[in-house]
C-alpha cells in the first residue's frame, strides 16, 4: 500500500487518480475495469463465519478466490457484488451494517496507514479520500459544501439495480457513519442522508442504522450531511496560479463523470472565485467545458473499447441517467454514436 502520491493527489478532494494502465486494450480481450480490493472479502467473511454460514463454495461459483497471497489483490467488483447478493439470502438484515462497523474500526485502528494516531476528524476525511484508490476503483468519495452544509459523498460506478448493489452501498453508508461516530460521538447521525438505492430495498437497512431518519432514496449519489462538524474547508497544497493546466486536465479525467464536477466546485477546491478560475482558463486559451468534454469523451472511448459493458451501463458510469442523452452527447462531439465508436479499432 506504500505508493508514491503525486502533488495532485494531495488535494483534499482528489482521489482515485491511480488508475489502471490500459492504453492498448482491445475489446477482444476485455479487462474488468470495475475493481475492488480483496479486502472487501476480508470485511464480509468474518460475518459469515461468525454466523456459521459457508461462503467459499459461493465465492468459487463467482470465480472469486478464497485465499489471498497479498493485501493488494484486486477482484472484479461486479463478481463480488453478485457474490454478496447470493450470500445475503442466508444472512440477517444487519449484514452491511455489521460489516460497515467492523470496517470502520479497521480504518480507525490505522489499517493501510489511512488514519494517524491523534488525527483530527478533518484530517481523517482528507486522508481517507487521498487513500481511496487503495481499496476501490469502482466508487468515488468526495467532500463538498452544499447550501452551506458540508457533505461526505460517494458514487458507485455500478447501477443501483445491479444485484448486490444495495447491500454494497449500505455497507459504505455504515462504514462512513461509524467513522464519524468515533470522532463526533456514539449518538451522531447525519442531518440528512441521500442514497442511490430505492426505498423498497434500502428501508430495512435504514431502519437499523437510522430508525427515525427520513432518508432520500434514488438519488444521483450517496450523501451524508456532516452535522455538528466545524473547521472543514477547501484546503489545497498550493495555489491555483502555480498549477499547470495539465494538472486540471488530470483532475478532470478523474471527476468528469460526477455530478458535482462543475466550474463552481472546481473554484471552491482551489479557494478562488469562479471569476478568477474563468480568467485562469482564458489565460491558457481554453474553457472549463472544453476540458470537461474532452475528459468525458476520453473516458467513454476507453470504456467502449476496453470493456464489454453495454452502452447503457457505460452511459451510467459516465454520469448519464438517460442513455439517449449519452448517445446524443457523444455523437455531437465525434459524429459517431457510441455503438459505432465501439466497432472502431483506433480512434
Q: pLDDT digits over 116-151, tens only?
A: 778 888 888 877 777 776 777 788 888 887 887 889
Say which residues have a Cβ less than 8 Å from residue 262's Cβ, sequence separation at least 6: none
Task: Give the helix ranges, DSSP H, for 113-194.
Answer: 121-130, 165-184
For residue 24 the three cell numbers come to 492498448
State percent of the chain over pLDDT 90: 49
Task: Give the length of the chain.
Answer: 347
Task: Answer whether 335's CB lies under 8 Å from 346's CB.
Answer: no
Choose the most confident range, by mean pLDDT, from 48-52, 66-70, 263-267. Answer: 48-52
> Which burial class, exposed, middle or buried, applies to 278 when counting CB atoms under 10 A from its CB (0-12, 13-18, 19+)?
middle
Choose the most confident range, by mean pLDDT, from 122-131, 195-204, 263-272, 296-305. Answer: 195-204
DSSP structural state of residue 218: S
pLDDT at site 259: 75
Task: Answer whether 87's CB lies under 8 Å from 155's CB.
Answer: no
- The rounded distance, in Å, linking the Cα atoms of 139 and 177 is 17
- When pLDDT is averaged across residues 265-280 and rounded to a whole number, the result is 84
pTM of the entire predicted model: 0.77
| Biggest CA-to-CA distance, the chain | 64
The residue with cell 454520469 is 319
Q: pLDDT digits over 17-50, tens only?
A: 233 332 333 233 334 468 888 888 889 999 999 9
Q: Which domains does the chain carry? A: 23-225 (3.90.1520.10), 240-342 (1.10.10.60)
pLDDT at site 239: 65
pLDDT at site 187: 92
How many C-beta atoms lie closer than 10 Å to residue 288's C-beta? Answer: 20
pLDDT beyond 90 at 311: yes
- When pLDDT is averaged across residues 304-330 and rounded to a whole number, the result is 91
Amino acid at each position: 500500500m506504500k505508493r508514491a502520491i503525486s502533488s495532485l493527489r494531495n488535494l483534499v478532494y482528489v482521489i482515485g487518480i491511480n488508475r489502471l494502465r490500459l492504453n492498448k486494450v482491445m475489446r477482444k480481450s476485455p479487462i474488468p475495469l470495475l475493481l475492488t480490493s480483496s479486502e472487501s472479502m476480508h470485511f464480509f467473511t468474518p460475518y459469515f463465519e461468525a454466523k456459521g454460514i459457508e461462503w467459499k463454495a459461493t465465492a468459487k461459483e463467482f470465480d472469486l478466490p478464497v485465499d489471498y497471497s497479498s493485501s493488494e489483490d484486486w477482484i472484479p467488483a461486479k463478481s463480488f457484488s453478485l457474490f454478496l447478493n447470493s450470500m445475503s439470502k442466508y444472512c440477517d438484515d444487519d449484514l452491511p451494517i455489521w460489516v460497515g462497523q467492523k470496517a470502520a474500526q479497521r480504518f480507525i485502528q490505522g489499517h493501510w496507514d489511512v488514519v494517524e494516531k491523534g488525527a483530527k476528524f478533518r484530517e481523517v476525511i482528507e486522508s481517507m479520500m487521498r487513500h481511496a484508490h487503495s481499496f476501490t476503483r469502482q466508487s468515488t468519495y468526495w467532500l463538498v459544501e452544499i447550501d452551506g452544509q458540508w457533505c461526505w459523498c460517494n458514487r458507485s460506478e455500478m447501477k443501483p439495480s445491479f444485484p448486490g448493489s444495495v447491500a454494497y452501498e449500505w455497507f459504505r453508508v455504515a462504514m462512513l457513519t461509524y467513522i464519524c461516530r468515533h470522532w463526533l460521538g456514539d449518538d451522531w447521525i447525519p442531518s440528512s442522508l441521500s442514497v442511490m438505492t430505492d426505498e423498497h430495498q434500502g428501508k430495512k437497512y435504514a431502519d437499523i442504522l437510522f430508525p427515525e431518519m427520513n432518508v432520500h432514496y434514488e438519488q444521483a449519489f450517496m450523501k451524508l450531511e456532516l452535522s455538528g462538524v466545524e473547521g472543514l474547508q477547501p484546503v489545497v497544497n498550493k495555489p491555483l496560479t502555480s498549477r499547470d493546466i495539465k494538472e486540471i486536465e488530470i483532475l478532470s479525467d478523474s471527476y468528469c463523470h460526477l455530478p458535482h464536477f462543475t466550474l463552481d466546485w472546481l473554484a471552491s477546491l482551489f479557494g478562488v472565485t469562479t471569476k478568477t478560475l474563468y480568467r485562469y482558463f482564458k489565460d491558457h486559451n481554453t474553457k472549463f467545458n472544453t476540458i470537461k468534454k474532452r475528459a468525458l469523451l476520453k473516458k467513454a472511448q476507453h470504456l467502449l473499447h476496453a470493456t464489454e459493458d453495454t452502452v447503457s451501463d457505460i452511459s451510467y458510469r459516465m454520469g448519464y441517467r438517460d442513455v439517449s442523452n449519452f448517445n446524443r452527447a457523444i455523437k455531437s462531439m465525434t459524429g459517431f454514436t457510441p455503438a459505432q465508436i465501439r466497432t472502431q479499432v483506433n480512434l
